[in-house]
Structure 1
Amino acid sequence: MNAYLGIDVGTGSARAGVVDESGRLLATAACDLELLRPGDDHAEYRSSGIWEAVGRASREALSLAGSVDIVGIGFDATCSLVVVGSGGVSTAVDPEIDTIAWLDHRAIPDAEAIDATGHDVLRHVGGSVSAEMQMPKLRWLHRTFPDRMREAEFFDLPDWLTFMATGSRTRSVCSAVCKWLYQAERGYAGEGWNPEFLSRIGLETLSRDGFAPIGRQFAPPGTAVGELAPEAAAHLGAPVGTKVSASLIDAYAGALGVLLAGKDADMDGRVSLIAGTSACHIALTQDPVFVPGVWGPYHGALLPGTWALEAGQSAAGALLDRLVEGHAASASAREAAERAGRSLYDRLAERIDRMAGKEGSHRLTERLHVQPDFLGNRAPLADPTRRGAISGLTLSMDEDDLARLYLAGIQALAHGTRQMLDTMRAKGVTVSALVVTGGWRGRLSMSANMPISAACP
């Protein structure tokens, strides 16, 4: 049986899945990642740990799948920044650490300095570059470790995975346009880089040798960029020579699935909500649309001939975790749920139902409100310095209070989503349906009193 191996690297784990040619999922496996948080705004990995987790998840998934012939491999990942030294050997930005996670916010001053240039390329990120993107991180690195960075190469994590698998330095258009300010509409052989912009922000060294440190060649997602090398084949448990495709950002991999779901799917007006540690709201348009505070338009980031817009919330699933786990009743509620063979979130949803009665759950939070920007506001305010707040706290610390706080967090994310959709609509983007997928399923245990509708009013 021919099958495909998909490998996804999220914020907290690496996951592998094996699917047959009809799209039927045959097996999955996962391996946790070690995210290092040594200080405020710090978030880092060891690339060796990421690659080890990828290998363990891949080998286990293939073992569970049984007798299959893997004919293609695809990677997606978060947009973390991997620093690679001369000859492909990892180089540490801190001792033994060579990967800066997407949620690392140490480069906020660098993002502000880039914004201050007012350069025209910033139109493609809603007018303001995010510290979660790579140019601010690269500027921070070059200011902090100038000697180490002169000979280094820099990869978005999805591209680094294909590099490790094949040895190919061809980068994905997806990562390049979304996180590196590459303008793919100008070409795939380096024409999309703007050397004048790089010089203006203090990164002229990245233009050396035809932009070798950041990529000379790019490919649309899904295009084969190489074949699985022998060492990588042994590590992943897949056949030598298997075709490996250009990668995707993890949220865009999710968007590809939900926007194209169903035979003859009409993408017009559909917005994907990719619900993970953060949330991404991705829409496709036939023509470029510029929306203040919303990333994009990105040419060819998902499908050739289309433009992508990306809004989002920096803390989404992480927000719900923070609210629930930080409550005094969380531990006892979780223990009670586990004894009953349920998830904590199922238990909280049932309690909300009972508390709401016939009046509806919205009544439960009339005096309790969450301002959800615990990790800044990604869109449409584009302010990474914002912080969250909870208004309406009482002295109660019981499970009813926990359930109300959980509900208020969900409502806060919903209001933030509405704000982003309204901002896109105001610039002419059609929004008729919101299609949701991702890792919130365990957190959003919705009941009849908390419906999710595909239709957007």
Structure 2
Amino acid sequence: MRCTLGVDVGTSSTKGVLVAEDGRIVASATRAHDVDRPHTGWVEMDARIWWDEFTDIARELIGALRQAQGSEAAEISAVGVSGMGPCVLLADANDEPVRPAILYGVDTRSGAQIARMTDELGTSEITRVGGSTLTSQAGGAKIAWIADEEPDAWARAERFFMPASWLARHLTGAYVLDHQSASQTSPLYDIENESWYEPWWQRYAGSIEQPRLTWAGEIAGYVTAEAAEATGIPAGTPVITGTIDAWTEAVSVGAHEIGDLMLMYGTTMFLVATGEETLRTPSMWTTAGAFPGTRNLAGGLSTSGALTAWLKDLTGSDYPDLLADAEKSGPGANGLLVLPYFAGERTPIQDPDARGVIAGLTLEHTRGDLYRAALEATALGVRHNVETMRAAGADIRRIVAVGGGTQGQLWLQVVSDVTGLVQEVPATTIGASYGAAFLAASAIADPGAAPVITDWNPITQTITPNADLREFYDTLFDRYVRLYEGSKDVVHELAAEQRAHEQRGARRE
């Protein structure tokens, strides 16, 4: 049996799948991990975990395949890689990390660098070159933070990686980065010319060797003898460059065509709208697409699954009980309204000092009301993003849902009811690892014989909004927007106090 191996490094776990030539998942494996939050606003991870988990998963899946099929019949024909991002991992000349990897927009430490770079370069010039203003999502600002704040680490840094490119490096020795990931290393990438922007690279990252730019589905290289020994994957096996998980998830469900919107339910919520035109708006992220000739307008909530997991742990409940209670609570959660900004917020408000707010609490409210309000909060955040995208000119014709959260029918229905959007759900929602396997299969296919994702993964469910709730949720959305505007001054003061409290604690230690 010929299979492709797809592995994705996510925020809370690394997932791998073996996929047969017809798209059937033969075996899967997962390794859970945690991020580190050493200070308020910092979210980072030891990148050595990424390769360790990849090797564990590869050996487990290959073992399962051989046990089922016999060693002679088992064949890994190509490897696909994917990972969370945009992350910043700097490594030395021996590819040893000089510090933990700084994660994507949920890490908000680079505020001073964003302000300085914006002042030095100008907002209009930054958006002209890279498409987006600088926010906590900007990889270039995180690189500048290391240069400013950790000179010893910076002095040793010679190469720049994200999770997918880190795996490709270990597997093949190739030093590459895909265009989509590079376009989120703002302001170091020129989106119209699809190249590194030399003047700003030299200014802010000059001591770092530039990774070669390729497209996500292109072959980066071939498994080395050393990597084969570590993973069990045969030497010489092709490995694609890969890209950031949200874009690979879009591939996994066929939501990467012009007019598509991919809605990813995970630890965070992510949205990717695909078009041909470079749309620029300060509220969202403008990026290169996963494929040549495409552009994306993207957005992300800083919490979604992370918020529901927090409530689960806080209440000591399990998800089935919470979902049953939330179902009983009903639309509006008996008068509760939540702002889901428990880790700051990314788009469209771009406010790292935003904080969670629970409004309307009484002694009569239950855990079911809280959980229902949390689900509605993420849905209201999705609506805020979609309306902002459309105002910027995005032509959204089709919405496809993906990710672990799609397993819960209530959450899907709440999002459709709040946004008024029809969602299509495919048969397989395992996510980015599946998309990586598809890209790998496509990379090695004969001309004219490439696999088709809708054959691999057809749509099996359609979620339709309840028209009777439209007026109710229009009113709730208005309150949601006004609640943020009305509370943000106080919330910002609290965020400043939280930082000051942490600094006092650090000095005492």
* C-alpha RMSD of matched pairs (Å): 2.5
- Any idea what the Cα deviations from partners look like across 1:200-227, whole Å, max 9, x if unmatched? xx51xx235xxx5232x21111100100
The residue type equivalent to 2:393 in the other structure is G
Q: Which amino acid aligns with 1:21?
A: E
Deviations 1:304-324 (A, max 9, x none): 111111111111211222233
Structure 2 CA distance, aligned partners of 1:448 and 1:382?
27
Q: Which has the higher helix share?
A: 2
1:34–1:49 Cα contact (<8 Å) kept: no
Which one of the candidate residues 240, 247, 255 is aligned to 1:252?
247
Counterpart of 2:14 in structure 1: which amino acid?
Answer: A
Structure 1 residues 8, 317: CA separation in 2 closer, same or farther (over 3 Å shift)? same
* Pairs within 5 Å for 1:226-305: 226-260=221-255, 267-296=257-286, 298-299=287-288, 301-305=289-293
* In structure 1, distance between residues paired with 2:8 and 2:303: 20
Which residue of the other structure, out of 398, 403, 417, is the alignment partner of 1:433?
Answer: 398
Q: Tell me which residue corresponds to 1:207.
A: 206
Distance in 2 (CA, whole Å) between partners of 1:112 and 1:450 is 35
Alignment of 1:177 with 2:183, yes or no, is yes
Is 1:369 the counterpart of 2:337? The answer is yes
2:351 aligned residue:
383
Do 1:16 and 1:57's aligned partners in 2 also have CA atoms closer than 8 Å? yes
Counterpart pick for 1:407 among 355, 363, 372 = 372
* Structure 2 letter corresponding to 1:348: L
Taking structure 2 as the reference length, the TM-score comes to: 0.75
TM-superposed CA distance for 1:41, in Å, is 2.0
Counterpart mapping for 1:330-369 below 5 A: 330-331=315-316, 333-334=317-318, 344=319, 346-353=320-327, 355-356=328-329, 361-365=330-334, 367-369=335-337
Deviates more, 1:150-159 or 1:442-451: 442-451
Query: 8 Å contact 1:33–1:53 — kept in the other structure?
Result: no
User: 1:175·1:248 contact (CA, 8 Å) conserved in 2?
Assistant: yes
Summarize the Cα distance change of 1:302–1:156 in structure 2 as closer, same or farther, 3 Å threshold.
same
How big is the shift at 1:146? 2.1
Cα pair distance change 1:445/1:223, threshold 3 Å: same
For the structure 1 residues 150 and 122, does the alpha-carbon distance in structure 2 shift closer, same or farther, using more than 3 Å as the test? farther
Q: Which residue of 1 aligns with 2:383?
A: 418
Letter in 1 for 2:12: G
Q: Match of 2:93?
A: 86
Structure 2: which amino acid aligns with 1:130? T
Indicate conservation of the 8 Å contact 1:295/1:311, yes or no. Answer: yes
Distance 1:380-1:104 versus aligned 2 partners, 3 A rule? closer
Equivalent residues of 2:50, 2:163 under 8 A apart: no
Confirm whether residue 224 of structure 1 aligns to residue 198 of structure 2: no
| 1:6 correspondence with 2:6 | yes
Offset, 1:53: 1.3
**Cα displacement (A) at 1:125:** 6.5
Q: With structure 1 as the length reference, what TM-score do the two structures score?
A: 0.83
The residue identity in structure 2 corresponding to 1:207 is G
Q: Secondary structure at the match of 1:322?
A: helix
Q: Are the structure 2 counterparts of residues 451 and 128 from structure 1 closer, same or farther at C-alpha, using a change threshold of 3 Å? A: closer
Please state how far the C-alpha of 1:260 moved relative to its aligned partner. 4.4
The DSSP-based 3-state class of the residue aligned with 1:376 is: coil
Cα distance change of structure 1 residues 113 and 449 upon mapping to structure 2, 3 Å threshold: closer
Structure number with higher relative contact order (C-alpha < 8 Å, ≥ 6 residues apart)? 2
Aligned counterparts of 2:34 and 2:384: Cα–Cα separation in 1: 34
Distance apart, 1:140 and its partner CA: 0.8
Conserved in 2, the CA contact under 8 Å of 1:32 and 1:53?
no
Give, in angstroms, the shift of residue 363 of structure 1.
4.6
Give deviations 1:212-252, integer Å, cap 9, x for gaps: 5232x211111001001112122222111100001110111
5+ long unaligned stretches in structure 2: 424-463, 471-509
Mapped to 1, the partners of 2:231 and 2:336 lie a distance apart of 49
Q: Tell me which of 76, 79, 82 is aligned to 2:82.
A: 76
The equivalent of 1:121 in structure 2 is 126
Cα deviation for residue 14 of structure 1 reads 1.1
Quote the residue 1:143 is aligned against: 148
Q: Structure 1 pair 288/31, CA: closer, same or farther in 2 (3 Å)?
A: same
Task: Identify the residue that residue 155 of structure 1 maps to in structure 2.
Answer: 161
Per the alignment, residue 264 of structure 1 pairs with none
Q: Is the 8 A contact 1:83 1:91 kept in 2?
A: yes
- Cα distance in 1 between the residues matched to 2:339 and 2:44: 27
Q: Is 1:32 aligned to 2:32, yes or no?
A: yes
Question: What is the rounded CA distance, in whole Å, between the counterparts of 1:38 and 1:159 in structure 2?
Answer: 25
> What residue is the counterpart of 1:167 in the other structure?
173
CA contact (8 A) 1:349 1:447 kept: no
Q: Gaps spanning 5+ residues in structure 1: where?
A: 262-266, 335-343
With over 3 angstroms needed to count, the CA separation of the structure-2 counterparts of 1:25 and 1:99, relative to structure 1, is same
* In 2: Cα distance, 1:255 partner to 1:277 partner: 16
- Tell me by how many angstroms 1:142 deviates: 0.3
- Is 2:176 the counterpart of 1:194? no
CA positional deviation for 1:37: 2.2
C-alpha distance after superposition, 1:165-210 (max 9, x if no partner) = 11101221121112344225424xxxx22233346xx51xx235xx
- Work out the CA distance in 2 between the residues paired with 1:128 and 1:246: 26
Matched-pair contact (CA < 8 Å) for 2:130–2:191: no
The equivalent residue for 1:54 is 54
CA deviations on 1:149-170 (whole Å, 9 max, x unpaired) are: 2341121222111111111012
Q: Classify 1:72/1:395 alpha carbon distance in 2 versus 1 (closer, same or farther; 3 Å).
A: same
Distance 2:147 2:415 in 1: 48
Distance 2:24 2:293 in 1: 28
Structure 1 pair 132–291 and aligned structure 2 pair: CA distance change class (3 A)? closer
Percent of residue pairs identical: 26
- Distance between the aligned counterparts of 1:52 and 1:279, measured in 2? 27
Cα displacement (A) at 1:450: 8.1
What CA distance in whole angstroms lies between the structure 2 residues aligned with 1:391 and 1:112? 32
The DSSP-based 3-state class of the residue aligned with 2:133 is coil
SS in 2 for 1:419: helix
Deviation at 1:123, TM superposition (A): 4.8
Amino acid at match of 1:139: A
CA gap 1:112/1:375 in 2 versus in 1, 3 angstroms: farther
Shift in Å, 1:421 = 1.1
| Consecutive aligned runs of 4 or more in structure 1 exceeding 4 Å deviation | 123-127, 442-452
Q: Are 1:324 and 2:312 an aligned pair?
A: yes
Write the distance in 2 (CA, Å) between the matches of 1:260 and 1:421.
Answer: 15
